[in-house]
Amino acid sequence: MKKHGSFFTLLCVFLSAAMLLCACSEKPAEASGDEPPSSATASESDSRQEPSSAETPDESEISELGSEPGSEPGSEPEPETPFVPVIRFAVASDLHISYTSDASAKRFEKLFKTAYAYAESDGSYKTLDAVVLVGDLTNRGLKFEYNSLNSVITRCKKDETQIISVMGNHELYEGGASVYLENMDDSLDKHIVINGIHFIGISPENENGFSSASVKYLTRELEKAAEESGPDTPIIVFQHHHIKDTVYVSSEWYASNSASIKRVLEKYPQVIDFSGHSHGPINNPTSIWQGKFTALGTGTLSYFEMTSGMTYGTIPPEADRAAQYYIVEIAADGRVKIMPFDILTEDFFKTPSNTDGEDETMVYYIDANKDPSLFRYADRASQADEPYFGEGAGIGISGITENTATLSIPQAYDGECIYSYDIDCTDASGTALHFACFSEYYFEPLAESVTYVLKGLEDGTEYTVKVTPYDCYGKKGEPISASFNTLKAPDVEYSSTLDVNFFGTFANFDYMSEVTRSNGTPAYGGKADGDIFGGEWADGISSLDSCFRIDDTHGYEESPCLAVWAANNDNQGLYLIANADNEWSTAFPDLGYLRVWVDFTNVGFRKANFGLMAPDGSLFTTDEEDGRTDQYFWYLAEGSDTWVQYTHGNDGCFGDVQNSDVYGFKGWMAFPIKDFTYRNETGSGTEIAGRSYHSKQVLGVYLFWDYSETVDYDGNVFYLDEIAIVKDYTVFDPYVE
C-alpha cells in the first residue's frame, strides 16, 4: 500500500481519528471458537483500489463488526468514548542478537526510536512505560550476546521505560538459565504491575516447552492478578512458545505442554497472551486469535518463517527483511488498542486488505474483556470474502528455457489479506507439477505482482499454467491461466570411449585397477576430485568408514567390479562420479531405468536405495516421497531368465524393514528413473521437490544403505558392476561404436 505524507502527519491523522470516530452501530460478532486453519494463506495491501468492475459488498454483506464496506476486521471504527491511555508498552520477540552490528540489533534501536516518537506525538499521554521481550533475545544465549543486547538498551532506553523479558529456546542453546539470570534478569518467571496492569511471564524449561512449576506459577499469579484488578481490566501474559491452534503458525510451532497452559488461560477472558517463536508476520490477520481469551503472535526483528505448504518451504525469499513489533495501549476503562508497527517503513502497518483505502491503519481493538461472546476476532473466517483477480488480469510469462519459466502473477484482491497462490503446471498428457508461493503481503507496500520461477519442467513441452489465489483464512478464488512451450533440448547420442559390454553403460570397472576417493560431492556443494565419494548419506561429510576398492573377480561374469563395505552400521552415502579421468559416459538418449549388476551374497540391508545425480549436483532418489507403495523395482537372479517384481517400502527403500529383503541377491536389479525424485537443498537449487529426474545428462550414480540389524554385517562386502541407464531393462544391447 502506497503511503502519503510523513510519519508524524500520519500519527496526527491516526490520533484525530481515534478521538472522532463514532461507535459501531452493530453488535460485535458472536464468538464461535473457530481457529485459523493450519494451511492459512495471507497478503498485504497496495495502492490500487478495487477495480470498478468488481462487486463491492452491500449493507447485507458488511460484517457484524460494523466495518465500513471494503474494510476488514482489525480496522473497525473506534468506540465513541475518547481513548486516553493510562499505559503504553511495546511488545517484540525473536531478536536473535549476537553483535551490535547485526541487522536485528539496529532494528531494536529503531524500536525504541519509533516507539518514543509515537509516544511524544500523543497529546494526552506521552510515556512508553515498558518494552516486553518475548524470548529469543539472543542467538545462543551467550554472555557476549547479552552484552550486545544490553548495549542497545543502555543507549536507547529512557528512565521511564521498564524492560520485561522472558527466555526463549535460543537462550537455552549454549548459555542457559544461569547466563540469562546473570546478564538479563534476576528471575525466569515474573509478575510485574505497572499503572495497575498486571504482566505475567514464564520462561521455557527446554527448547520445546515449560516446566510444571512454571505452569503452576502462572496459575497462581493469574488468580492473584484477577482478584486484584477485576474482570474488566486486561491481564498481560507472555511466553515464548505459541499455544497450539491459536495464532498464525501455532498449528506447527507451539509449546509441547501448550494444552495445559491453554486450560489455565481459558479461565480468564481478560487475558491477552503474547507469544513468539514462529517468526510469523504480525500483519497477518490470523496473528490475533480469540477463543476464551485473546492471543497474539509477536513477529520478529530477524527473519520471517511461515506455515508449511509453499514450494520454497517455510522461509520465503528475502525473509531477513523482517522487523515488526506492537505498540499496545490500555485505557482506564480497560479498552485496549494493539497497533502492529513496521520498523522497515517506520510506520504503522496498513490493513492487509488491498480493497480498503490505501491509508487505513491496522489496529486491533479489544473492548470486551469479560465476555468472549462479544470478542471481535472470534468468527472472521466465516465472514471473509473470496479473493479474486481483477478484470482482464493475466499471467506474464518470460525467461523460458528448456526446464524453467518465470511467471509474473498479478496480485489478486481480497477484503482480508491475499496470502498465497497455488500454481498448477500441466502438460498435454495431463501430468501436472504443483507449486505454491506467498503473495509477499508481509512487505509494505504490496507489490503489484509476484514473480515466481517454475523449475524442473520437461524440455520441448507445452504447458498450461493455472494460478489460484488464497486468502489468510484458506478461502480460494477463481484461477487465471496461460500457456507456454519450453525450449527443446538438443538430442543426445550414447557413446563410450571405453570398450563397454552394453549400450547405455554408465560405468563398469573392467579397465580400472583402483579408484580415487573424492573429498566432496557436488550434491552438497563439494568439489568432485575423484571417482567415488563416500560419507554421511544426507550431507557432504566424507567418512573413511564408507569403504570401496576395485575387486578383480567378483563382478559380472567374474570381471572386475566395485567392492563396497562399511566399518559400522551408520547410514552411508556412496556417489560414483563421472569425470575426465575415468571416462564414464554421461549422455543418455532414453531415461527408462537404472540397471545394476549386484552381488549381495554376504549382506542384508535394513534400508537401501539407488539414485542419480544431475550435472548441477541435484540428487534424485526413490526415498523422497514417503508413503508411496507404488514404487516397483525388478530383479533377475543369476542363471534365471525371469524378472521378478518387488515393491519399495513406504520409505522409498528396499530392505528387511521395507518388506523387500534382498539378502543373498546376485544378479541384475532395475529401477524406474521416473521414481527418482529431487532431494531438497541439493545441487544448485534449480529443482523442485517431487520432480522426477529429467536431464539427459548424468553426473553420478548414488547409493544409500545401512546394514540389516538382524545380523551383524559390519565390514561385510558387497559388489556392484555394469551400471547402465537404459530404455528397457530387459534388453541387453551389445555396444558397438
DSSP string covering 613-643: E-TT--EEEGGGSTT----EEEEEETT----
Residue 484 in contact with residue 441, Cβ under 8 Å?
no
pLDDT per residue as tens digits for the range 277-286: 999 999 999 9
Buried (b) or exposed (e) across 17-38, using 16+ Cβ within 10 A? ebeeeeebeeebbebeeebbbe
Percent of the chain topping pLDDT 70? 89
Smallest CA-to-CA distance from 1 within 342, 453, 404 is with: 342
- Give me the residues paired with residue 57 across strands: none
385 contacts: CB under 8 Å, gap ≥ 6: 57, 61, 414, 415, 416, 471, 475
The C-alpha angle with vertex 200 and arms to 176 and 364, in degrees rounded to 5, equals 115
Mean pLDDT calculated for residue range 487-500: 93
What is the structure's pLDDT at 405?
Answer: 93
591 contacts: CB under 8 Å, gap ≥ 6: 673, 693, 694, 696, 725
What is the structure's pLDDT at 76?
Answer: 52
Amino acid letter, residue 299:
G
Indicate the range of 16-25, 56-65, 257-266, 347-356 predicted with least confidence.
Answer: 56-65
Does residue 75 carry a pLDDT above 50? no
What is the structure's pLDDT at 649?
Answer: 84
Percent of the chain topping pLDDT 90? 75
Residue 239 in contact with residue 265, Cβ under 8 Å?
no
| Average pLDDT, rounded, for the chain | 88
Does residue 2 carry a pLDDT above 50? no
From CA 275, how far away is CA 296, in angstroms rounded? 6
**pLDDT classification of 77: cutoffs 50, 70, 90:** low
Rounded to 10°, the helix 258-265/212-229 angle is 10
Superfamily of domain 82-383: Metallo-dependent phosphatases (3.60.21.10)
Residue 282 in contact with residue 297, Cβ under 8 Å?
yes
pLDDT per residue as tens digits for the range 166-190: 999 999 999 999 999 999 999 999 9
Does residue 367 carry a pLDDT above 60? yes
Does residue 264 carry a pLDDT above 60? yes
Mean pLDDT calculated for residue range 258-270: 96
pLDDT per residue as tens digits for the range 390-427: 999 999 999 998 888 999 999 999 999 999 999 999 99
Mean pLDDT calculated for residue range 360-367: 93
Does residue 492 carry a pLDDT above 60? yes
3-state secondary structure at position 5: coil
Mean pLDDT calculated for residue range 1-13: 36
Residue 536 exposed, middle or buried by CB count within 10 Å (0-12, 13-18, 19+): middle
C-alpha cell at 607: 534400508
What is the structure's pLDDT at 80?
Answer: 64
Annotated domain spans of the chain: 82-383, 505-726
From CA 310, how far away is CA 450, in angstroms rounded? 14
Mean pLDDT calculated for residue range 147-166: 98
Question: What stretches of 66-171 show up as alpha helix (H) in DSSP?
Answer: 103-121, 143-156
From CA 9, how far away is CA 576, in angstroms rounded? 66
> Rounded to two decimals, what is the model's pTM?
0.71
From CA 395, how far away is CA 94, in angstroms rounded? 37
Indicate the range of 296-305, 484-493, 556-565 predicted with least confidence.
Answer: 484-493
**pLDDT classification of 79: cutoffs 50, 70, 90:** low
**For 700, phi and psi rounded to 5 degrees?**
-160, 165
Does residue 74 carry a pLDDT above 80? no
What is the structure's pLDDT at 624?
Answer: 82
Does residue 222 carry a pLDDT above 90? yes
Mean pLDDT calculated for residue range 371-387: 91
**For 549, phi and psi rounded to 5 degrees?**
-165, 165
What is the structure's pLDDT at 674?
Answer: 86
**pLDDT classification of 450: cutoffs 50, 70, 90:** very high
**pLDDT classification of 78: cutoffs 50, 70, 90:** low
User: Which runs of E-coded beta strand occur in 276-411?
Assistant: 288-290, 294-297, 324-331, 336-342, 347-348, 364-366, 396-398, 405-410
301 contacts: CB under 8 Å, gap ≥ 6: 92, 94, 95, 96, 104, 107, 108, 111, 322, 323, 324, 325, 343
What is the structure's pLDDT at 5?
Answer: 36
